[in-house]
Amino acid sequence: MYLKNNLKLLCSILLFAMCLFIFPSCSGNKGEKKSDTIDISDSLIKNMTVGIAHTTQVRSEIKLTGKVIADQSKQLAVYPLVGGTVKTISVELGDYVEKDQVLAVIRSADVADFENQFIAAKSDYESAKKSKQVAEDMYASKLMSERDYLQAKQDYNKAEATLTKAQELQKIYSVSNASDYVVKAPISGFIIEKNVNKDMQIRTDNGNNIFTISQLNDVWVLANVYETDIDKVKEKDTVFVTTIAYPDKIYKATIDKVYNVLDPATRVMKVRIKLNNPDYLLKPEMYANVVVNYAEPLRMITIASSALVFDNSNNYVLIYSGGKNFKVQKVDLYKAIGKKAYIKSGINESDRIVTSNQLLIYNALTNN
């Protein structure tokens, strides 16, 4: 019986030793923190990239909606200075116009009156000028009293002032002939608003503009901020703007102004973003999506988000120590925003982290 028991014990020991020899990796688990030198091709190592973990301010994002509007510092509304009937219109909505280009012509009784005043003023001036010349000659020859001479000069000066006023009125009202008031563009730009048609009657007490001209080489985006996000948005915050028309085109800018009031109807606060628009792709009234990148009151280890490997419901990175030495390290991810990932724990500052081809190396390590 004693011999039989010893034989059983010896067999058990031999069987256990064989298991350890044949299956040396039975005790290893995929994804466990480990350091290995493995046979990875030189080309894979040559083509991988490595980034340095470093501590930075944590930044987050919020998404806002808004719309494109014209830069109001670069637009002018055009108002009619007289009443009358619209005779001709030379432009349409969306047209580009040069400064002083004719936009419309209005036939006006007021302008006809200005023209009559100019003609009368010019006639009086010519008459007063001749009388003044005659008076000067007669006064020099002692044939006219000084009083009469001074009166002739006074009449001339008065006629000259009246003519100057009539000329200025003609310039202000762009008089082209006896009764036409010419509406001209005050600046170069695009017609973004048109509230006039041919044969339309315009009253002198009409307070509405007939055209609005805007220089669209710069535009504004007005975005809506809800009350829950007001404390996260500040001037100079970086934003990324996209539109429905150009979803693949991203405009990077900063918040130019925060309007510190809420719209009583929508309960939102407006923020303004100024965008350069040299190719005129952005047009007023386009809808815009705005992503605001703002700073949180935290500092954490930061790496490239491309370095993360997600496996078995956990996040891992590869720490590289040179040659073919890699370590699979589990990390506690705080958040990944764009190209950056913020790590709460698992790695240290200045660790060298693989940021490309890491999945191939990770599989080789964890399956080794």
Give me the pLDDT at residue 24, please.
Answer: 43
Measured CA to CA, the distance from residue 16 to residue 35 in angstroms comes to: 27
Q: Which residues of the chain have pLDDT under 70?
A: 1-39, 111-112, 172-178, 368
The H or E element that residue 298 is part of is strand 287-304
Write out the two tokens for 308: 């993360």
**Is 304 within 8 Å of 343 (Cβ atoms)?**
no
Give me the pLDDT at residue 341, please.
Answer: 96
Helix or strand or coil: residue 192? strand
Q: Where in the chain is the domain with CATH 2.40.420.20?
A: 30-58+298-366
The H or E element that residue 278 is part of is none
DSSP per-residue codes, 199-232: T-EE-TT----SEEEE-TTEEEEEEEEEGGGGGG
Give me the pLDDT at residue 4, please.
Answer: 47
Pick among 3.40.50.300, 2.130.10.10, 2.60.120.10, 2.40.420.20: CATH of 30-58+298-366: 2.40.420.20
Domain 62-73+217-296 has CATH 1.20.1070.10: no
pLDDT tens column, 287-298: 999 999 998 889
pTM: 0.64
Q: Where in the chain is the domain with CATH 1.10.287?
A: 117-178
Give me the pLDDT at residue 193, please.
Answer: 94
**Is 203 within 8 Å of 83 (Cβ atoms)?**
yes
Q: Where in the chain is the domain with CATH 2.40.30.170?
A: 62-73+217-296
Give me the pLDDT at residue 2, please.
Answer: 43
Q: Tell me which architecture the domain covering 74-108+184-215 has in CATH.
A: Beta Barrel (2.40)
Burial of 8 (0-12, 13-18, 19+ CB in 10 A): exposed
Give me the pLDDT at residue 165, please.
Answer: 85
**Is 65 within 8 Å of 292 (Cβ atoms)?**
no
Measured CA to CA, the distance from residue 53 to residue 363 in angstroms comes to: 22
Give me the pLDDT at residue 33, please.
Answer: 47
Give me the pLDDT at residue 23, please.
Answer: 41
326 pairs with which residues across the strands?
Answer: 36, 320
**Is 183 within 8 Å of 233 (Cβ atoms)?**
no
Helix or strand or coil: residue 89? strand
Q: Where in the chain is the domain with CATH 2.40.50.100?
A: 74-108+184-215
Measured CA to CA, the distance from residue 269 to residue 264 in angstroms comes to: 10
Measured CA to CA, the distance from residue 239 to residue 226 in angstroms comes to: 16
Give me the pLDDT at residue 8, please.
Answer: 52
Q: Is the torsion defined by CA of 58, 50, 308, 239 positive or negative?
A: positive
Write out the two tokens for 287: 């809808």
Give me the pLDDT at residue 173, please.
Answer: 66
Q: Which residue has the tokens 């044949």?
A: 22
Give me the pLDDT at residue 149, please.
Answer: 83
Pick among 1.10.287, 3.40.50, 1.10.10, 1.20.1070: CATH of 117-178: 1.10.287
Write out the two tokens for 129: 């000028």
